[in-house]
Amino acid sequence: MKKIIVLLLMFNAMAVFASDARTEGLGGFAPIFIDDSQIFLNPALAYKFPNFATLELGRYVAGATTQQSGYGVLRANDYIYIGAGVLREKDDFDNISYDDLIGLHTPTNDFDAMVSLLLGRISIGFGTHLAGWKHYTKSTDTTSTTEHTQKTSVMAFTLGTALESEDLLIDAAFEMRMNSYLNEQVEDDDHMTSKIDGGLGLSFNSRAFLPLGGFKLVPAIGFNMFGYTPILEYQDSTEKGAKHSLMMISTTVGANIPVFGEGWVAPGVGFMYGSEKQESDDETNTQTGIVFPQVSLSGEVPLTKWADARFGYRRWFGSLKQEDKTDNTTQTSTIPINEQTQFMPPDQISVGLGIKLADGKITIDGTIGEQFIHEGGYIISGIEDNLFGTASLCVNF
């Protein structure tokens, strides 16, 4: 049951933006309700960030820095905006069984390219994502030669559009991802190959900012699906494993309410449904998760001309269902999410605190380390922790 909640968390994270530090500082959810947009989710919105670059400085954990990446947009002229990014992960390998990937590394060296065409009030965008990993070895002795080829790859294409008129903004995007892996060992005339059949991922996301008096109503929907079947080939035989399929649906409604001049607060409520199924000839295993309501409240409040404080809170309510079917029996169990703390990741309840430092050209975003808040840092508690959990640097040029 734990996995389907992790998948819901991953899908939820796909729908938000700002810098990584800003997203975490707002509780991991609220950026969907602010007028910032994920250009990797919808490249049509790249025109909103002309001559802009972000360096994700990463998360410092256990003496090492992780999750570093960079991206930016360049304004070519009044109609064309070009963007690129590196190390921004976008694949479905987290949804592939670990047993099918033994000995393989997920795709690396991710690269994104995108273009946005601004045609009056309408923009159209196209983006592509490429990543791959490969390892090849060859050994020879007096009696045989062995070749071992291992590789993984992903190629994604995104088509998006947006309509903006005064305070109104509507955007939508469709994405197709093609994931593949191969683990092949050949020794003279003998060979064994593990590979994927399918590996196609599809998603659709749409959102609108609707002006209502002094605030904006922000409805959003999201859909994602992925499926594959592992294949094992040995000599002249071919064996197919269990068919895996995944589907995620989310819908949220929030408000963007101005406060304290340049500040804002964003209350929101959402619904999510996730289903993962494994089907073989004699058994079917299904996990489903329903989250309703998902409630959130977050905001940014100006402290000075160059500093903003951020906060965010999110809480899940819902249920998990496990169903196992064989030829003769069906076993089903359903448990409320808020009672399953032994299976739940921390994001069942998400709290974020962050800060923004800006001088007009350069912006530094940081999150306040959650353990630092609870434990007080090394001087007080004797526990090593960092004041900032995640940091991002944004530059306008």
Query: DSSP string covering 289-306, please?
Result: EEEEEEEEEEEEEEEETT
Give the Cα separation of 333 and 1 in Å (integer): 10
Task: Determine phi and psi for 365, rounding to 5 degrees.
Answer: -105, 140
Structure tokens at 226: 């992925």
Chain position carrying tokens 């990797």: 40
- pTM reported for the whole predicted model: 0.86
What pLDDT sits at residue 4?
63
Please list, in sequence order, all residues whose beta carbon lies within 8 angstroms of the beta carbon of residue 379, skipping any fewer than 6 positions away.
none
Give the Cα separation of 226 and 244 in Å (integer): 8
CA 300-303-304 angle, to 5 degrees, is 125
CA 20-129-75 angle, to 5 degrees, is 70
Amino acid identity at 74: L
Structure tokens at 260: 């304290």
CA 363-359-209 angle, to 5 degrees, is 60
Q: Give the domain extent around 45.
A: 2-396
List the pLDDT tens digit at each of the 397 positions of the chain.
556 655 555 555 544 446 788 887 887 765 677 766 678 889 999 999 899 999 988 776 655 667 789 999 999 999 999 999 999 888 999 999 888 998 899 999 999 999 999 999 999 999 999 999 999 998 888 788 889 999 999 999 999 999 999 889 999 999 999 999 999 999 877 889 999 999 999 999 999 999 998 899 999 999 999 999 999 998 888 999 999 999 999 999 999 999 988 899 999 999 999 999 999 888 899 988 888 888 889 899 999 989 999 888 888 888 888 888 887 788 888 777 665 544 444 445 667 778 888 887 898 888 875 554 545 544 444 445 455 578 888 998 8
Chain centre to alpha carbon of residue 149: 29
What pLDDT sits at residue 33?
75
Chain centre to alpha carbon of residue 36: 16
Give the Cα separation of 75 and 79 in Å (integer): 8
Structure tokens at 135: 């390892």
Query: Three-class SS of residue 267?
Result: strand
> What distance, in Å, lies between the first and last C-alpha atoms of the chain?
47
Torsion of CA 161, 165, 167, 171, to 10 degrees: -10
Please list, in sequence order, all residues whose beta carbon lies within 8 angstroms of the beta carbon of residue 16, skipping any fewer than 6 positions away.
23, 28, 29, 30, 31, 32, 38
How many separate domains does the chain show? 1
What pLDDT sits at residue 344?
42
Total residue length of the chain: 397
